[in-house]
Amino acid sequence: MAVSTLVSKRTIRRSAILSVLILSSCNLKNSHVPETPQPFTTPLGRVYERNKASGKALQDYQEARSAYLNDTTDVDLLIWYGRRTAYLGNYEDAIAIFTSGIQRFPEDARLYRHRGHRYISLRQFDKAIADLEQGAQLIKGTANEIEPDGIPNAMNIPVSTLHGNIWYHLGLAYYLKQDYDNAYRAYLNCKESGENPDNLVSSTHWLYMIQRKLKNYSAADSLLLPITPELKVIENSSYHNLCLFYKGLITEKDLLPEGEASAASDAVAYGLANWYFTEEDSKKIKEGLLLMTKIVEGENWSSFGYIAAETDLSNIPFRKGPDPISE
């Protein structure tokens, strides 16, 4: 056999082996299943088991992880790796991923936006505020940009932006700290960051609630002037319905139809509970407390409605033990 033929065959064989190894490596990366995080204990003492990763969320995570491991210099791939990790409910690992990104890309506002969001999920509000304020500094003087959806809406049309999400989550973090002046400032900036109806109804909802908290009822009502039933809201229908309720255009039954609890229904329930709680009527206040208690007895412990209800209940002066309503 000629030497050239032997070398050629060896080269082909080595290439084939290398291809198999590469494919195996990719399969190993894609088949990685993260460990299920430890149970989470809320500030009110409720313990929630984390779900084991499965289904499409796991597949999306595996693909994002594989893509990132194939090119760890790409900040976009790192962000998606962190986002997909968070969608599994593994907020601690997501924070670690975003932290590693910040160490290498300290001027990328998106990393602070996403890490700040997940600090809120874990009730670390001061850290969230620090991150989101840093993000707000980094976007000064920059053009706004659409933020791609990790979980697309029904029309598959992204409606949120980087600037809007930074201000939205910053406002939420301040709200959860009961720093309503700074929360109001942040949500005003959120409202001004985009003109689409989804941004209008979500920011208006929180601005309205803040003014109600401060007993500025006429100022709260004035915020609702641009809200109409005809607004073409794609994603934030819960906030739209709440604003319509605040205007007296729909009823409580319209707000909370019977059905399975979800993050969206928690948001609605909390908005209604807050409205009750800020009424100057003892019966309404008790209804608000009962509704908030019902929210925190549910399973959506990382939803914003749950966290807001939990925070309000935690700050009721007469609360004793796990029951937020004094006997």
Using pLDDT thresholds of 50, 70 and 90, give the confidence band for residue 12: very low
Q: What is the Cα–Cα distance from 70 to 62, expressed in whole angstroms?
A: 12
Beta carbons of 212 and 220 less than 8 angstroms apart:
yes
> Mean pLDDT throughout 118-142?
98
Q: What is the Cα–Cα distance from 142 to 130, expressed in whole angstroms?
A: 20
Using pLDDT thresholds of 50, 70 and 90, give the confidence band for residue 6: very low
Predicted confidence (pLDDT) per residue in 219-230, tens digit = 999 999 999 999
Using pLDDT thresholds of 50, 70 and 90, give the confidence band for residue 251: very high
Q: What is the Cα–Cα distance from 47 to 63, expressed in whole angstroms?
A: 31
Q: Which residue from 133, 54, 128 is spatially nearest to 304, judged by alpha carbons?
A: 128
Give exposure, 240-273, as e/b (b: 16+ Cβ within 10 Å): bbbbbbbeeebeeeebeeeeebeebbbbbbbbbb
Using pLDDT thresholds of 50, 70 and 90, give the confidence band for residue 155: confident
Say whether 170 sits in a helix, a strand or coil.
Answer: helix
Using pLDDT thresholds of 50, 70 and 90, give the confidence band for residue 28: very low
Six-digit token string for 48: 């929630």
Whether the predicted pLDDT of 322 surpasses 60: no
Say whether 81 sits in a helix, a strand or coil.
Answer: helix
Whether the predicted pLDDT of 107 surpasses 50: yes
Percent of the chain at pLDDT above 70?
Answer: 86
Whether the predicted pLDDT of 321 surpasses 70: no
Whether the predicted pLDDT of 60 surpasses 50: yes
| Number of CB atoms found within 10 A of residue 285's CB | 14
**pLDDT at res. 267:** 95
Q: Which residue from 49, 126, 127, 129 is spatially nearest to 89, judged by alpha carbons?
A: 49
> Mean pLDDT throughout 171-197?
97
**pLDDT at res. 271:** 97
Contacts of 156 (CB under 8 A, 6+ apart): 149
Beta carbons of 224 and 243 less than 8 angstroms apart:
yes
How remote is the C-alpha of 213 from its chain's centroid? 23
Neighbouring-strand partners of residue 47? 41
